[in-house]
Amino acid sequence: MSKRDFYEVLGVARDASERDIKKAYKRLAMKFHPDRNPGDTQAEESFKEVKEAYEILTDSEKRAAYDQFGHAGVDPNRGGGGFGGGGGDFGDIFGDVFGDIFGGGRRGGGRSGPSRGNDLRYNMELSLEEAVKGITKEIRIPVLTSCDSCHGSGAKKGSSAQTCGTCHGQGQVQMRQGFFAVNQTCPTCHGKGKVIKDPCNKCHGQGRVEKTKTLSVKIPAGVDTGDRIRLSGEGEAGEMGAPAGDLYVQVHVKDHPIFQRDGNNLYCEVPIGFSTAAVGGDIEVPTLDGRVNLKVSAETQTGRMFRLRGKGVKSVRSHAVGDLICKVIIETPVNLTERQKELLREFDQTMEGSSKKHSPKAEGFFDGVKKFFDDLTS
């Protein structure tokens, strides 16, 4: 059964701070703690899940590995021992501590045999429109693939790999230094457990050849910067027929000239004339689906936000759709004719003596300035 995303388990964003993660953990730990839910096996499992997510995401190294490779990066049963609990026996401890002293340690967390292929990462840049609506893209990646001549075995056609005579197929040999007995990688088969007497001419016994592979990647609607798409088995081929790794497509959404994205909401600035702001009116604003009309109410001030519901981004993880938030910026007219300037002066004269009525913010500001200087001189 596949594990849930750790960020989803804690209900935090991928860029959440350690403080936010701890806060979410405390809340969920109290909710699912076995002492508060006696006999509830589901709550007990949820508590374990929350605890595991917290331990990974509050450790900088483990979190970095998880962000890059997902659960594969923190799985203790994968290559290099991984992260996490689970113990191991007395020999495991001494193999990890003293392995380098005696010429290498235990390989792959103590497991012998051919290694699984490496996971790969591909950085994909998308426009905002592509990320919001979804798209299918073709990518080309250089990758080690299984040799089609020997089918990944590394041995010439008609022959096969033989069990290693040094380690007898274990991939490890035991080396004694005084009272220490330390397992290390077999120097003959390099941990594979088998040796190839008659190697394949095409791959020279490696079982893999480098090839440029073309893949079609379906990007779901609503992805954002930092999201990853996992293509199972599309990484490097494993050694001697071992399973292939995975390919992770890392998404980066390019800046847009009009819109800014925050979660599922879009933001944009809309310039309007001061006459429209004063008396109100209808203006056209852009959306990702085309232009729509926005009704500007009278006496609108610069910086006011107007919300267009459902004109944002549909979440990649749910059916929720965000909004478009339009911030109006009142634009001062330029390149005026003499007649236009004259009309503005006439208009300004009609405002004299009633500034408090027509410009309450300006009147309040200057009253504050006056009081400030009066206090300095008193």
Q: How far is residue 285 from each of residues 244, 258, 303, 326, measured CA to CA in Å? A: 49, 11, 15, 8
Judge whether 268 is annotated as a binding position: no
Which pair of structure tokens corresponds to residue 65? 């590995």
Judge whether 167 is annotated as a binding position: yes
Judge whether 150 is annotated as a binding position: yes
Which pair of structure tokens corresponds to residue 155? 């041995």
Task: Name residues whose C-beta falls within 8 Å of residue 266's C-beta, 6 or more positions apart in sequence.
Answer: 259, 260, 287, 288, 311, 312, 313, 322, 323, 324, 325
Q: Quick check: 106 and 172 in contact, CB under 8 A?
A: yes
Judge whether 186 is annotated as a binding position: yes
Can you state the angle between helices 18-32 and 41-57, rounded to 10 degrees?
170
Judge whether 203 is annotated as a binding position: yes
One-letter amino acid for residue 138 of the chain: E
Judge whether 326 is annotated as a binding position: no
- Could you tell me which of 157, 154, 140 has the C-alpha nearest to residue 238? 154
Secondary structure tally for the chain: helices H, strands E = 10, 15
Q: What is the DSSP letter of 237?
A: P
CA angle 350, 351, 355 (to 5 degrees): 160
Tell me which H or E stretch contains 129: helix 128-133
Report the binding-site residues for Zn(2+).
147, 150, 164, 167, 186, 189, 200, 203
Binding residues: 147, 150, 164, 167, 186, 189, 200, 203
